[in-house]
Each structure stands twice: as C-alpha cells, then as structure tokens.
Copies of this chain bind each other. A is one copy, B any other.
Amino acid sequence: MSLRFALLALLRVGPLSGYDLQKQFAESVGHVWHAPDSQIYPELRKMEAEGLIAAEEQPRGERATRRVYHVTDAGDDAFTAWMRTPLAYARVRDPAHLRAAYLETTTPAAARDFLHAHVAQWESEIARWEDELTRIDAVENPMLARRLAVTARGDRDRTIAFKRFTYEGLVERARGEVAWARRGLALVDALTGPDGAWAR
C-alpha cells in the first residue's frame, strides 16, 4: 500500500520514466521502503489505470518509446490525503527477535554466529544511511537536488530537516540493534562454560 505513495512522492517532484524512477528510487526512498523493479513497473501501470498518474509516450530512437509519467491532480490529492491519514501499523513480525527468544535451544557457537551476523547486518545499514546523511548535507543526492530546485526558498530548510530527521532515526534504531546484539554476545559468554558448551 505504501509503495504507491513512495512513487507518488518521487513523481511529485517532476516527471520521470519508469526506468529513471526505479533508479532514483533505489537511492532515495528505497533506503526507507525497498521495492524491486519487478514491483515498480506493474504498480505504475495500476496507478495509471486508477488515474493517479499519466504517461506521455516519448519516441526513443527509431522504434523504441519510453513512457514518462507525471502525477495527475487526482494523484496529488491521493498523496496529500494519505499524509493526513493515520498510519496503519503492521503487527510486529521480527525474525531476529523470534530467534533470539530461543537461543538456548542451539549451541553457543550458533548463537554467536547469529548475533555477529546481526551486528554486521545493522552496521552495513548504518553505513548506507550515514552515507545518505552526508549526501543530504552536501545536497549531493540527485533526487533531493531536483526537489530543492523546484522548492520555494522557505521550504528548503524543512525539506532538509525532515530528511535528516528520518535518516537519523534509522541510524539510531540500527545502533540500538547493534548494541543489543553485543549485549547478547556478552550474555552468551556469561552462560558458556570453559569447555565451550553451555555452562551447567
């Protein structure tokens, strides 16, 4: 359900072809809401059918065409309406915490592997998001630059402020995950005997 609003958010900045959209997606909203190309193209068609966006076909070379999408008034309304609607929170469904709850059923080695992987996973996400943060500060992100170009002076600070707010939140959450997993590693150590098996 959120995918279409992520797409609308990008298209509201200016028209884009499906391909461009998909590329930009990966390096902006994609950090927050991942979607593969194979989901984006069909969703664009559906949104077109529902009148939220419209395509302009542009010739590309002799035979090929590309479809450049723009947001319709209906699409704009749908987006702003969504922004005013309470979010539907999904129930918790978290594989890492599910596994954590049963770590005593496996070996200390497997428990450590899991926790190390958790640290690595979130550290790599932190790296991506911090990278985004520095690019936000430098206004290097292509999508953000386009956005700021069409944005009135007074709005720029807000746009940047909420981007920073968003990514800082993600980074902090990820740091929490890392800290949690490290505490888990300490716990495994504390529960392990000198022979490497669980202490008795």
Contact = CB atoms under 8 A, between A and B. Distances in A.
Interface stretch (A15-23, A45-53, A65-73, A79-87): A79-87
A104 interface: yes
Interface string A140-152: 0000000000000
A165 B183 contact: yes
27 contacts: A2-B95, A2-B98, A5-B98, A9-B101, A12-B105, A29-B98, A32-B94, A34-B92, A80-B106, A83-B99, A83-B106, A84-B113, A86-B117, A87-B117, A89-B95, A89-B96, A100-B165, A100-B166, A101-B163, A103-B158, A104-B155, A154-B198, A155-B198, A157-B191, A161-B187, A169-B180, A172-B176
Interface of A: 2, 5-6, 9, 12, 29, 31-35, 79-80, 83-84, 86-107, 110, 113-114, 117-118, 121, 125, 154-155, 157-159, 161-163, 165-166, 168-170, 172-173, 176-177, 180, 183-184, 187, 191, 198-200
